[in-house]
Structure 1
Amino acid sequence: MTVHQLHYTSCEDGLEGIQGFQISAMTPGAPKPLVDLAVRASAYEVGPDLMARLADADLGTFPVAFGYVPSGAAATLFQSRYIGSDFTGRTGNYFAHALLLDDADAELSGVLPIDMWRSPTWVHTRHNGTALPAVTALAPGGATDPTSIRRFLREPGRYDRLARMISATQRVLGGGRGRLVLVVPDDHSAALWLAALCRSLPRAVGLDVSFVTYTARPADTTVLVSCTTPDVRLPTYGDFTVVDLTDSGLPDSETTRYGAIMARLWESDGVPAAVQLADRAAPPLAGADLEAFAVLLECTTGSLGATPPEPLLLDAARLAVDRLPGALAAGGWRGIGDLLADAGGPTDLAAWSETLRAAGQRREPVAPELLGAYYIAALAAPQRLWLPALAGDELDAVAEHAVLPALSDPRAEAVLDRLGEQRELVHAVVRVLDRRLTDDAELRRLATTLTPRAARLIRQSSSRDPARLTDLVLARHGQADRVAVLAAALGDESVEWWHLGEVLWPEQPSAEEATQAIRKLHLEVLTGTGLLARITERLIRQADRDEVSAKDVRLVDVLLEQPIVGEIEAADAAVLAAVRLIDQFRQSTPKRDAGRSVREGLELLDTLPGAIGDRMLVSIAEFTLRAEPEPHRELLTLALSTGSKRFLNRYRELATDRLAKAAPPKVAGVIVIWSSLANTRVRTQLLNETLPAAIARRRAKHLDAIGAALVPTAKKLAIDAPAAKGWRDWWKSWRSRHERRGLLGLLGLRRKSQ
């Protein structure tokens, strides 16, 4: 290795033969373009706070401008220092020592340019003569090694500032334009920040980053990253990004993924491995590739950031396949799959098809979850996309992690359409089910989530039903006999049948199914599955809303049989008995034994909820009023014997309504019955209050017809008239009292009696 070098300062005996700033010494044969570049780049000027100290005897506190400027494969490294006065006594002189590298990467031999900070290669004073020897070995300094950087970054807040600095540099590199200005306390911290930056970049990218540790004119420098101190005036225009790295600096921009992951890796000592991975890329990574590479780093290290957009995930996957083949381990591919799932799954299926197909051809260890997510999306796509050829464990993994969840989605019709063509995949699903369904809880979960179409597909593609799963699914959706499926499961010792009630009947059992279950299943099964309680609960709810159907009533009859009724709570059994009686009272006409039912209904009253109890009273009253005179008298007497004022009130209300439209003989029968009641108070209320209200709007001819029917009705019932003169006179008297008030009294008229 032969490296040219030069010295530049203000002198009177330099190579240019002038008095002033010139090259004072140089290696013969140095290439002029690099010489000119070194002279321009190494120019030095002190900042405002140092202007008053230009004549100081101690010059060690003046910042050192150490820099690196590439030019194609070549580059210059330089160090400029303030040295006080020149040969004329004028202050402001500086001494620059520059190395001219024809092939920077090769001649640095793995050393980064920043590692030459404080290198023993640098000199600070003039050489005797104007010819310098070539440098044959570059000895790095020790102030910017990884250990020193980690120690420097441990100070509070510096990892965050590092992330911002890397991010700002990445944006400039990726955009291909702009420059970065770092505000630092001094040249030593500048070197450490630059070292942290350069060690955070792939080597190929780092060698493209020009920098200088100090400048008093950041707006005029041409390097990519220039460092300056707080006293220096910052650029106010132009394409500059300023990052304040002093302790008082505030966040000035968002961090990139790459900046964030590299800052985290500095904390965990993971940077060397990350850069080593980046350096494996072929062709080498550029600034525009760093964000995609950051995704790979996140997936490799398990330090996942925010969910990236799908295009960035695709770029990362392509980078792994095309430029880093074999570099991403199975865990990294699993990370890509996790991030893609968080992003909502693949949508650019053509791009994923191309990338994953290439990954398969290169035997990349793509995670089954990622393949499965693509597989499912491709199955559902309208176009026929490539599907990976899977076998064995891979096929089972896709079946378990991707296909099986899709079978629970009722919207996945396209998946099922194409899945029917993938017989081996369906067989893999069955194998997965065989393993998972050894857990009875998993059987119940799948039975409640799989769609009927998925169940039919599994049944058609397999010679058996995994753990009765498809039977349960189809029965749950009403496409198989629920009771028969439950009865069949009772003989399978591996199935916890007592949990199957809710599986098979997501809604309350219908009256028909409930009746079938009670007739065909043992009482232990009805109670163990909770079916009996649910059947009863539905009926109670229907009764409370007065929405009991004829089928429900027939079901009630079954429930009230022994030994079923013995397993029902007494209060619920009372309601069910009331349901049956109310239906009987509403649907039938009283016969000779009707008193037994009325007595049973009246005895239940105190055990019934308010609404149902009131409904019972109304139904008994309606039932009684519907009866012929003789059973009417018997039922009314029985009901009144309970002393229930509630019944009397309901009976009077209904009588008022029914008698207003009843035929005269029917009204006459009721009158005769009421007149025979032993209870004077009740008899008086019915004849003198209820009856007038009921027939208040009846015409005279109707009242005459009622009177004419009294005698034969009373004779048939062997009931004497309330008055000694007989029924005709009693009716005439009653009309004279009530007709005037009730019918014509409001008009001041009186109708002649007939």
Structure 2
Amino acid sequence: MKHFQQLYYTSCEHGLSGFSGFQFNAVSPGVTAGTRQAVEALAGYEPPRSLAESDTPELLERCPVNLCYRPYDRDGRRATALCVRYVGRDSARRFGNYFAHALHSEDFREAAGGMLGIELWNSPVWTRTVAPATEIPALAAPAPGPLDVRAVAEFLRGHPHAARLPELLAAVFAALTEHGSVVVVDRDTERIARWFAAVSYLLPPPLARGLSFATYVFRPGRSRLHLIGTVPEAQLAFGTDDEAAYTVFDFSRGVFPEVPVSDLVRLLTRIGVESVRLVWSWTADYTRGGEETPDDWHAPVAAAACAGGITLTRADAHAVIDWLAGADHLGALGATVADDIHRKHRDLDDGRLAMLSSAAKAGGDIGVHREIEGKLHAARMRAYIRAAGNAAPPVPIDDPTTRERATALWERLAAEARTPRERTRLLLWAVGARLSLTREAVERATLGLAHALLASSTDDLLDEVSELLRVLPAMRESLAAAVEEVLKGRSGQEQVLSHFPANLLREADLADRPLVLEHHLRARAERMRSDTVPIMFKILKIRGRTSPDEELVSALWHPSRTWSHEEAAWIARLLPAAEPVDEAVGAWFRRALGQDIQEEESLEACLRLCGLLADPGRFAWLPADVGERVRVALDLNRVLREAVEATDLLAAFEVPPKLRWSATLALTSLCLVPAMLWLPADIARLRGRLRELSDRDLDRYLSDVYRRVTGGEGIGDVLLSHVATAATLSRRSLRTHAQLELVTAIRSHPAAHWRLADLARLEAAVRPHQPGLADHYAEDAEARRSSPQRRPRRVWPFGRHTEPAAADPPGARASAPSAPDAASPDTSRKKSSDKSRKEKGQ
């Protein structure tokens, strides 16, 4: 028989340590050092401040009692329980002494006779008196205290916050199965012990035995037990990192956390502590072993409760049904559970009834299985046809008699069906259940459905019709025949397929019906814009033509749309280059080329289109003015690649107004300035021509020069030529204050930051054009040579020394602006030009 080892821990004169103070006063034989360490860690006690100097029996009885239980494995086999009481003074008359009486067993459950740790509350086994010797005997099963289910039930009935028990139990479940601790605050430990007992009784017994707790801890933030009790006077301060790990229920103040409550917790608290132990005894027949979480325990507990006559909620019943499918350990008991649920819950949907039917069959109760199946059969078919929310898909009917009856029911419902959905689902049911329908019945049903689909919207049953077409090939032929009948029989029905899902019919289904096929393709083009070009050429193939006319193009793209550059290029490649095209094609190319271009990607697409249309055969498709514009755009693009000097490039972009269109404008705005900056500049020529740039392009030119001159790039000849050009611009060449600031900043930066050799090159470059500015550079270079640490801070506004032709007005701004946030676009033309310039050493 298992016994408990006993340990006394207190401040005393005689004990195991050999000197006075806190120590083990006495222990049972065989107590290990590890057990002593564990008890010592749990035995600490700090009284409430108001009771710290208690030294009379009356005051000491008011001190909180800590009944502590600590299991060391999941099922609580090896565990320690101890009762810690405050005893006031020690032998040296100092306050703060306490007495801890501990019981330890390697098989706590057997040694305690199945008693839970909380049931040792106020047990007569506990003592607070030191032993005269250091060895005390082991203890047989201790007697329980007065705390039992009746006492707990009476306590709950009288407590004003008893309704919080579900949240408390849910929090303890979370602490056991996830992490963290639950703190219970009440005015004394008698009440706290009853809260702990209520939780322990309601928990599944394996989890209750694994629940660690202490009925009193003055500083809960220092404990890591699952359940921690304390009184209002305690210190509830938690560290920032630990605060989330503690869930506090303050029953003394009525302050509670928000805790989600599971269906299992609701069921257990509805059963109540007085009845729950009986339910736990029944539950053992339903568990597989290894259940831990509330979800694991819910179904077995609900099944046991139902067998015991306890009413289940819908959530409880659903949990049992869902669990039955995998509960193969139940054997014949599974059929009993299915019968109980079926008879007590008449509002179950067909899906769960089917699960009960399967469970009854698996459990060997064929009678219950047939009873449930009989209820299900007609309901399944009607629910499926109506597309009810609980409709189950059809399953093959193997029994000949059952299949014959189902076929008769199907034919009766087919005569009653009115909507396309009902007709569709009837046919799906027939296929899924493998009913024995005649060919005439199938043809009649499919043709009727095809006409119904053409007369109404099919968007809401697209998936069902698609599935029917997949599983019933005869439906495709009926649908194609119905469409052709409508198109040929009534004029003005050309758009019959525009509201009809194009993917319900495949091109292969319509190979012998060209009229239907063309309208099918037109309808598909409306739904799949990205496929419009190949669809157009499929229609041309059906018609036996090579070029579209205005009607076809307008029908596919509509007048409000136009070809994108990519679509136009695609069409240009597919049209036979050596053959003439309809006049409409040239008009649509005009619209495509005339689109506004704001981005380099669009410009690239437009230029690719221009390149295609420049082919002699295709060039003939274009109106004369469009062809000229294409030529100009390609010429400008070629100049961007081939020009060798910035001024020549700028001159090439002087396009007559009548030839300025979207591509040439985009080439100017997106590519001209970046390309200029990759070419060397003839300073004298470029200074004069920069005024021909628009304000926007001149701003960009100056911004890019400034960005490069300050961006840490090497000062090559190309960059030097543009810096010199910008720095020597006269005031009358600039039209805005921002341009003035940029030129001032460009002038100032080299003097302070360039290497002296580069500064000397700049001085030489600007001297023929602005001698005063060159003198400034020479002076600053000399100053830097004489004082290497000194950097000129001055900037040069426009004035008589730097620009004899035009003096700045008084008060001109003299500080350099911050670098403008402008970046030249990285087009393919710029990249290729950049590469070629670098290869030439520019």
TM normalised by structure 2 equals 0.44
TM normalised by structure 1 equals 0.49
Larger Rg: 1
